[in-house]
């Protein structure tokens, strides 16, 4: 069903006293997932995830937002399958992807199909389907041309063959793939044997049913896997990142222009040895230029460098756009007038937007506090974006474009109004004189007369920063139970210049560990922190560091290690991207000294601290074998330990019930070892 409806997601319970009263209340909070808008700002739609009726999974629905920011959001869709992506056509019509039944009257949901919702609302109708499902939508600012990405069977010559391949695999329950190259897996899924292709279609005003799709990349193979796509304003040209295999599982990403009518490809930029990669693409308003980020290939000698890069489609010439040393770039978009680019960055524990004038090179900070993502440049001036912070769930805002101007709030579901404590910044100095900063979240009432126990959160990445809201490692659930939470940015963190990353490069347990201990020392020196009751927790690289901490100090009462790395030698060959890690460390047989020095498993005999290990079976970035091996080695040595296993989860714990179990188990483990309470397992484990 589609059409305008109530302003908030449905709920079958009274609102909790606090979102953070329990893990179940926290999971029930609506979550702003994504934002799309027309470039005139008149059509503005947010995807909002909320629990389904059985409270067993998140379902994303679409909400129309008021451009003036005064009226409540209006719910547009209510399918039980949800809407996974959306995009605006130039006249305000809305396209979205959903697994809802594609045929009217059918009750059978299937692969994700493309639907269109008219400007005036009403019922959405099917625009396009593919046997393997449609995975992405790309619209033009001044044209009715649309591109979609879709999964296609390998080595097929027609749509009929494609359909037959999918049907036969499903009927015969085949789940096999023959590989001749890496990668085999990616995060939490397997790569192939199907391929990603781009299809072109036209949706003129008045279109009221399915339209023809034209495959403009019939020989793509795996070239478009995990790639980026941008469609020119007039819809005539797509620019894509085109993956080309190299040796030993490495690849390069070329920038390629594709004619959306003929499928003719034109190479724009290529680095033969793969010394640079491109990610994220955006056209200038006049269609002449494409902006992207260019990342150098990491080596044992040093980390990758991320730069803003602009390509002239007429000449193929590209140039780097300087933004200074400290900001760490994530993505770039053109301003509405095309004279500047806006960069999404990490900087000093925040994620501001920077405006870079293309002629003068002048860099202006557009935003102050908070972390910004998904900026949309409006042709009339200003920007839409999603703003969040450690103490603010994601919300939609309008930015005037003036430096450091206060953002204007746009009403959308998902706001959290109150928090059970306060947020402060802390800083100390490392042994080499480097300033180390972080966030300290303190519970209400923490004071010299009532000091709070401390939980050290170690971020993943490792090239990352604690500068944003997170649903997965949310400090406020611990704060609501009386803990203070320290969220530091040690060596390898972003937003402090390239030297900060270089300080920890190739020595994951060295400077980062020292920095973490130094800022923990600074935190426990406060009179409102109880330095005798502390715990350390980390996931991914943070899990590596949790394991390293366990083998190098007994200062913590307990340690939580999620999705961790235990044996670097084992990990390098079994992770989903072996070549990437070999670029930083070399291979175990060619650089054994580095592996021996920095692998946590070499220090297992020093571990005495109680540990909680957590891992998802379908984690292919940090395979579950890392925790299984650690678990076996701890139990053999009689170390107090527990292992929380999720059979259907990957690197991230994503399903509502599993999230509740995760938080309940972690909180109970901390209560046992830090607060001296009895351990109470989640009742569903």
pLDDT digits (tens, 9 = 90+) for 379-392: 989 999 999 999 99
pLDDT digits (tens, 9 = 90+) for 220-251: 999 999 999 999 999 999 999 999 999 888 99
**Which residues lie across from 257 on neighbouring strands?**
239, 266
Count of alpha carbons within 13 angstroms of residue 450, beta-carbon side: 7
Share of the chain above pLDDT 70, in %: 96
pLDDT, residue 550, reads 98
Q: What are the φ/ψ torsions at residue 668 (nearest 5 degrees)?
A: -70, -40
Tokens of 625: 């074998």
Query: Is a pLDDT exceeding 90 seen at residue 206?
Result: no
Note whether 323 and 345 are within 8 A (CB).
yes
Q: How far apart are CA 330 and CA 308, in angstroms?
A: 9
Residue 542 to residues 12, 286, 434, 484: CA-CA distances in angstroms?
37, 44, 21, 18
pLDDT digits (tens, 9 = 90+) for 604-632: 999 999 999 999 999 999 999 999 999 99
Q: What angle do CA 361, 367, 373 make, to 5 degrees?
A: 95
Note whether 506 and 465 are within 8 A (CB).
no
Distance of CA 575 to the CA centre of its chain: 18
Q: How far apart are CA 258 and CA 199, in angstroms?
A: 11
CB atoms within 10 A of CB 179: 11
pLDDT, residue 103, reads 65
Query: Is a pLDDT exceeding 60 seen at residue 595?
Result: yes
Query: Is a pLDDT exceeding 80 seen at residue 332?
Result: yes
Note whether 392 and 32 are within 8 A (CB).
no
What is the mean predicted confidence (pLDDT) over 5-30? 72
Q: What DSSP assignment string belongs to 295-361?
A: EEPP-SS----EEEEEEETTT--EEEE---SS-EEEEEEE-TTSSEEEEEEEBTTBB-EEEEETTT-
Tokens of 535: 């715990």
Q: What angle do CA 132, 137, 141 make, to 5 degrees?
A: 160
pLDDT, residue 121, reads 73
What is the mean predicted confidence (pLDDT) over 315-328? 92
Query: Is a pLDDT exceeding 60 seen at residue 1?
Result: no
pLDDT, residue 143, reads 96
Q: What DSSP assignment string belongs to 186-206?
A: ETTEE--SSEEEEEEEE--TT
What is the mean predicted confidence (pLDDT) over 84-109? 83
SS3 category, 224: coil
CB atoms within 10 A of CB 635: 12
Query: Is a pLDDT exceeding 70 seen at residue 532?
Result: yes
What is the mean predicted confidence (pLDDT) over 320-345? 94
pLDDT, residue 10, reads 45
H or E segment to which residue 560 belongs? strand 558-562
What is the mean predicted confidence (pLDDT) over 540-548? 98
Interior/surface letters 254-279, b for 16+ CB within 10 angstroms, e for the rest: bbbbbebeebebeebbebeebebbbb
Contacting residues for 165 by C-beta, under 8 A, at least 6 apart: 131, 153, 156
Q: State the residue for tokens 């399915």.
A: 210
Total-model pTM: 0.94
Tokens of 130: 């593919």
For residue 105, name the pLDDT band (cuts at 50, 70, 90). Answer: low
Interior/surface letters 95-115, b for 16+ CB within 10 angstroms, e for the rest: bbbbbbbbeeeeeeeebbbbb
pLDDT, residue 415, reads 94
pLDDT, residue 6, reads 42
Note whether 447 and 534 are within 8 A (CB).
no
For residue 15, name the pLDDT band (cuts at 50, 70, 90). Answer: very low
Q: What angle do CA 654, 440, 429 make, to 5 degrees?
A: 120
For residue 109, name the pLDDT band (cuts at 50, 70, 90). Answer: low
User: To the nearest whole number, what is the mean pLDDT of the chain?
Assistant: 94
pLDDT, residue 5, reads 47
- What is the CATH number that goes with domain 421-674? 3.40.50.1820
Tokens of 151: 């999964």
For residue 2, name the pLDDT band (cuts at 50, 70, 90). Answer: very low
pLDDT digits (tens, 9 = 90+) for 124-172: 999 999 999 999 999 999 999 999 999 999 999 999 999 999 999 999 9
Best-predicted range by mean pLDDT (13-17, 326-330, 481-485):
481-485
Note whether 156 and 169 are within 8 A (CB).
no
pLDDT, residue 119, reads 79
**Which residues lie across from 499 on neighbouring strands?**
none
Q: How far apart are CA 427 and CA 439, in angstroms?
A: 9
For residue 509, name the pLDDT band (cuts at 50, 70, 90). Answer: very high
**Which residues lie across from 410 on neighbouring strands?**
396
DSSP 165: H
Q: How far apart are CA 504 and CA 584, in angstroms?
A: 12
For residue 70, name the pLDDT band (cuts at 50, 70, 90). Answer: confident
pLDDT, residue 106, reads 54
Q: Look at 325 and 530; give whichever has higher pLDDT.
A: 530
pLDDT, residue 94, reads 95
Q: How far apart are CA 98 and CA 35, in angstroms?
A: 16
For residue 4, name the pLDDT band (cuts at 50, 70, 90). Answer: very low
- 319-326: Cβ within 8 A, 24+ apart: 320/294, 321/291, 321/356, 321/358, 321/361, 322/356, 322/361, 323/354, 323/356, 323/363, 324/363, 325/497, 325/498, 325/499, 326/495, 326/496, 326/497
pLDDT, residue 104, reads 62
Distance of CA 268 to the CA centre of its chain: 28
What is the mean predicted confidence (pLDDT) over 109-121? 85
Count of alpha carbons within 13 angstroms of residue 594, beta-carbon side: 18
3-state secondary structure 573-625: HHCCCHHHHHHHHCCCCCCHHHHHHHCHHHHHHHCCCCEEEEEECCCCCCCCH
Q: How far apart are CA 438 and CA 460, in angstroms?
A: 14
Quote the strand ranges of 349-451, DSSP E.
353-357, 363-365, 371-377, 383-389, 392-399, 408-410, 421-429, 435-443
Q: Which of 7, 28, 8 is nearest to 16 (CA)?
A: 28
Tokens of 185: 């897996």
pLDDT digits (tens, 9 = 90+) for 395-436: 999 999 999 889 999 999 999 999 999 999 999 999 999 999
């Amino acid at each position: 069903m589609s059409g305008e409806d109530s302003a908030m997601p449905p709920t079958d319970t009274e609102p909790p006293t606090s979102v953070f009263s329990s893990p179940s209340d926290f999971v029930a909070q609506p979550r702003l997932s994504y934002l799309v808008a027309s470039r005139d700002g008149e059509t503005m739609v947010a995807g909002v995830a909320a629990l389904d009726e059985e409270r067993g999974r998140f379902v994303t629905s679409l909400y129309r937002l008021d451009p003036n920011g005064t009226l409540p959001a209006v719910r547009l869709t209510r399918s039980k399958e949800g809407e996974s992506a959306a995009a605006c056509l130039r006249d305000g019509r809305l396209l979205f992807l959903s697994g809802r039944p594609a045929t009217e009257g059918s009750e059978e949901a299937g692969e994700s199909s493309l639907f269109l919702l008219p400007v005036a609302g009403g019922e959405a109708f099917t625009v396009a389907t593919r046997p393997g499902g449609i995975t992405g939508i790309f619209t033009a600012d001044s044209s009715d041309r649309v591109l979609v990405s879709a999964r296609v069977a390998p080595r097929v010559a027609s749509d009929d063959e494609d359909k037959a391949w999918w049907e036969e695999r499903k009927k015969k329950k085949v789940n096999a793939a023959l590989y001749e190259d890496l990668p085999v897996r990616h995060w939490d899924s397997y790569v192939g044997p199907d391929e990603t292709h781009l299809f072109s279609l036209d949706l003129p005003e008045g279109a009221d049913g399915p339209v023809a799709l034209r495959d403009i990349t019939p020989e793509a193979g795996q070239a478009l896997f995990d790639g980026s796509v941008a469609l020119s304003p007039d819809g005539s040209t797509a620019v894509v990142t085109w993956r080309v295999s190299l040796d030993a599982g490495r690849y390069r990403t070329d920038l390629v222009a594709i004619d959306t009518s003929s499928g003719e490809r034109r190479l724009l930029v290529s680095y033969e040895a793969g010394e640079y990669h491109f990610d994220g693409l955006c056209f200038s308003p006049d269609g002449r230029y494409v902006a992207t980020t260019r990342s150098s290939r990491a080596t044992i000698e040093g980390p990758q460098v991320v730069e803003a890069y602009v390509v002239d489609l007429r000449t193929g010439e590209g140039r780097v756009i300087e933004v200074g040393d400290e900001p760490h770039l994530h993505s770039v978009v053109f301003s509405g007038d095309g004279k500047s680019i806006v960069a999404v960055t990490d900087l000093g524990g925040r994620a501001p937007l920077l405006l870079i004038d293309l002629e003068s090179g002048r860099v202006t900070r557009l935003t102050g506090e908070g972390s910004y993502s998904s900026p949309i440049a409006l042709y009339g001036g200003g920007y839409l974006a999603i703003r969040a912070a450690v103490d603010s769930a994601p919300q939609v805002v309008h930015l005037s474009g003036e430096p450091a101007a206060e953002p204007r709030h746009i009403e959308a579901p998902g706001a959290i109004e109150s928090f059970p404590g306060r947020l402060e910044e802390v800083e100390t100095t490392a042994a080499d004189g480097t300033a180390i900063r972080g966030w300290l979240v303190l519970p209400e009432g923490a004071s010299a007369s009532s000091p709070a126990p401390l939980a050290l959160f170690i971020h993943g990445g490792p090239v990352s920063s604690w500068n944003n809201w997170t649903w997965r490692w949310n400090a406020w659930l611990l704060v609501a139970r009386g803990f203070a939470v320290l969220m530091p940015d040690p060596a390898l963190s972003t937003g402090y210049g390239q030297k900060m990353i270089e300080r920890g490069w190739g020595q994951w347990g060295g400077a980062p560990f020292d920095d973490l201990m130094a800022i923990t020392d600074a935190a426990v020196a406060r009179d409102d922190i109880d330095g005798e009751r502390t715990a350390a927790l980390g996931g991914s690289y943070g899990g590596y560091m949790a394991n390293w901490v366990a083998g190098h100090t007994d200062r913590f009462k307990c340690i939580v290690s999620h999705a961790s790395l235990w044996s670097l030698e084992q990990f390098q060959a079994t992770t989903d991207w072996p070549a990437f890690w070999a670029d930083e460390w070399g291979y175990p047989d060619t650089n054994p000294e580095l592996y021996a020095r920095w692998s946590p498993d070499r220090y297992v005999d020093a571990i005495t601290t109680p540990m909680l290990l957590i891992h998802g079976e379908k984690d292919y970035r940090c395979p579950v074998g890392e925790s299984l091996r650690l678990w076996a080695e701890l139990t053999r040595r009689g170390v107090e330990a527990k292992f929380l296993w999720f059979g259907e989860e990957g690197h991230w714990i994503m399903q509502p019930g599993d999230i509740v179990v995760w938080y309940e188990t972690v909180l109970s483990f901390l209560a046992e070892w830090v607060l001296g309470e009895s351990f109470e397992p989640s009742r569903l484990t």
